[in-house]
């Protein structure tokens, strides 16, 4: 019988999230890609996302946490000094190219982006994952981490007609977690491919991320 520390995720999972949020799955390139493409606020281009900063920090979906996560760090930026207040204006809103243009003078250093991710955001999503998939804390840290990546990327919510396929996948994962069935978890993650919109330019990346998460989960099979 294996026991794990309370809801830790593996280092590989921590790096997987960074890799996919920043560098298309290549963790070794994350810093250079961030400095080149994501230092300034950006928008992934899909209707579900808002203006995004740091390590995949979507301002549309972080209204409740923005002040605690970013006020001290953004207020310390010298140029522009109003970065925190200006970005606050995009909380809860869908992203646009105009928003990207209007905030292009705001630059967030990699160190700040990584600190907010590790210290503030990731622990919150680990807790959300634990609540979404009861019993996952009793599984291998790779499995926990794969599901944390899924929730980080797709959110925990399954209500609404537009989330029927997501609900089916999440329900299958819950059953697998209850049974401590690692392969069932991996299959549920892969089933999320059916949920992703077929005609978006980000679809291929989402498919590959689901495959990476499923592969990581399978590494958590205890033999």
Q: Indicate which CATH number applies to the domain containing 220.
A: 1.10.530
Q: Which of 53, 75, 108 is the last residue of a domain?
A: 108
Report whether pLDDT(206) > 70: yes
Answer yes or no: do 91 and 187 share one domain.
no
Predicted local confidence at residue 73, as pLDDT: 94
d(CA 180, CA 185): 9
**Number of compact structural domains in the chain:** 2
Answer yes or no: do 48 and 18 share one domain.
no
- Comparing CA positions, the residue from 65, 26, 60 lying closest to residue 44 is 60
Entry field: residues in the chain: 223
Inside any domain, residue 115: no
Inside any domain, residue 117: no
Predicted local confidence at residue 191, as pLDDT: 96
CB neighbours of residue 161 within 10 Å: 5
Q: Residues 155-175: what's their mean pLDDT?
A: 93
What pLDDT band is residue 196 in, cutting at 50, 70 and 90?
Answer: confident
Tokens of 175: 């059953």
Answer yes or no: do 14 and 75 share one domain.
no
Predicted local confidence at residue 2, as pLDDT: 44
Q: Give just the sign of the alpha carbon dihedral 202, 215, 33, 8.
A: positive
Q: Which is more confidently placed, 7 or 120?
A: 120
Predicted local confidence at residue 201, as pLDDT: 67
Provide the domain limits for residue 85.
40-108
Q: Residues 88-112: what's their mean pLDDT?
A: 97
pLDDT in tens, 49-74: 999 999 999 999 999 999 999 999 99
Q: Residues 186-196: what's their mean pLDDT?
A: 94
> What is the reported pTM?
0.90
The answer for residues whose C-beta is within 8 angstroms of residue 118's C-beta and 6 or more apart is: 14
Answer yes or no: do 213 and 158 share one domain.
yes
Inside any domain, residue 170: yes
- Helix axis angle for 203-218 and 11-22, nearest 10°, is 170
Answer yes or no: do 1 and 94 share one domain.
no
Predicted local confidence at residue 202, as pLDDT: 72
What pLDDT band is residue 3 in, cutting at 50, 70 and 90?
Answer: very low
Q: Which of 74, 108, 142 is the last residue of a domain?
A: 108
Inside any domain, residue 33: no
Answer yes or no: do 10 and 82 share one domain.
no
Predicted local confidence at residue 166, as pLDDT: 94
Query: Using the 8-state DSSP alphabet, how is residue 105 labeled?
Result: T
Answer yes or no: do 217 and 159 share one domain.
yes
Answer yes or no: do 21 and 129 share one domain.
yes
pLDDT in tens, 6-39: 468 999 999 999 999 999 999 999 999 999 999 9
């Amino acid at each position: 019988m294996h026991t794990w520390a309370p809801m830790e995720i593996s280092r590989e999972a921590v790096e997987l999230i960074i890799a996919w949020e920043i560098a298309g799955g290549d963790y070794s390139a994350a810093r250079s890609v961030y400095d080149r493409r994501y230092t300034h606020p950006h928008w992934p281009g899909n209707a579900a996302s808002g203006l995004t900063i740091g390590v995949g920090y979507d301002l549309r979906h972080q209204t409740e946490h923005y002040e605690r996560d970013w006020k001290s760090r953004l207020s310390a930026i010298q140029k522009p000094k109003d970065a925190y207040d200006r970005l606050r204006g995009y909380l809860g809103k869908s992203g646009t190219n105009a928003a990207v243009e209007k905030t292009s003078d705001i630059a967030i250093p990699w160190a700040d982006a990584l600190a907010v991710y590790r210290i503030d955001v990731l622990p919150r999503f680990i807790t959300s994952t634990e609540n979404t998939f009861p019993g996952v804390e009793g599984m291998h840290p790779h499995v926990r981490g794969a599901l944390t990546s899924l929730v980080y990327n797709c959110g925990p919510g399954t209500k609404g007609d537009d989330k029927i396929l997501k609900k089916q996948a999440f329900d299958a994962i819950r059953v697998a977690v209850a049974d401590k069935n690692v392969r069932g978890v991996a299959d549920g993650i892969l089933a999320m491919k059916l949920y992703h919109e077929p005609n978006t330019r980000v679809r291929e990346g989402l498919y590959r991320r689901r495959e990476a998460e499923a592969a990581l989960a399978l590494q958590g099979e205890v033999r």
